[in-house]
Homo-oligomer: A and B are copies of this chain.
Amino acid sequence: MRKPLILITNDDGVNAAGISALTNAMARIGDVVVVAPDRPRSGKSSAITPDKPIRLSLRKEYENVKIYACSGTPTDCVKMSINQILDRRPDLLVSGINHGPNTAISVIYSGTMGAALEGCINDIPSIGFSLCHYECDSDFEQAATFAESMARKVLENGLPKGVCLNANIPGRLPKGVRLCHQTDGKWVEEFIKRTDPAEHDYYWLSGHYENNEPENEHSDEWAVANNYIAVVPCKIDFTDYDFLNNYKKMNYDF
């Protein structure tokens, strides 16, 4: 039987520790093709690059693993893989392991999840993995072990059309896995304002996350805060069907 083909990408870049751990884990399951940004591309969401040429280079090839670097965004990497690199449809796409959480509304800014959503758009079962740990010496091995187990289950069962998974893994040994919803809350931005030598102002994006439901045991923030792996099923259809079904009653007749 042919081994499954697994496409790997991330937003921390091809040289990140997280993608290396994920690559080793996936190479135990199938044939692996890594197509990842040539530099860190955090916060790129589902951005694409229509206005600049994209470069691609084969960086490494060994056993059942091929590693490419791409000058585009994580989403570009997925598009490029499907269209220019792979000779068959991948059986699975995994993105990450991101260095830092992509819980709650961060899913919308995340390049890691942008890539997973792109896989999903292309009907490839897709999972984004993030490690909820910020230190330079983060250990991705435990997260990679979980990723391997989850990848095997998704390869076995598939995923429904239009749904991908967002897995956030706590930094400490997790107590288990919880299926969760995306926590309600937002980033409260506090830009840091500075002045350059020419006396022009510039700003650094900063801020902290404000959780509107810290006690909700079904939210992904609660799960990781309580040392569980949080898995949120994410849709690529943004439509609010409740609104759609009720708008006439709601006086929204445009």
Q: Which of B79, B109, B233 contacts A48 (CB 8 A)?
A: B109
- A182 near B237: Cβ-Cβ < 8 Å: yes
The residues of B that contact A48 with a CB separation of less than 8 Å are 43, 45, 109, 205
Q: Is A83 close to B, CB under 8 A?
A: yes
A204 to chain B, nearest CB (A): 6
CA–CA, A203 and B55, complex, Å? 6
Does A86 interact with chain B (Cβ within 8 Å)? no
Give the residues in chain B near A83, CB-CB below 8 Å: 189-191
A244 lies within 8 A of B179 (CB): yes
* Contact yes or no, B244 A181, CB < 8 A: yes
Is residue A177 contacting chain B, with contact meaning CB distance below 8 A? Answer: yes
**A172-213, CB < 8 A from B:** 177, 179-182, 184, 186-187, 189-191, 193-194, 200-205
A residues with a Cβ closer than 8 A to B are 40, 42-51, 53-56, 72-73, 75-76, 79-80, 82-84, 105, 107-109, 114, 117, 121-122, 149-150, 153, 157, 160, 162-163, 166, 177, 179-182, 184, 186-187, 189-191, 193-194, 200-205, 229, 231-241, 243-244, 247, 250-252, 254
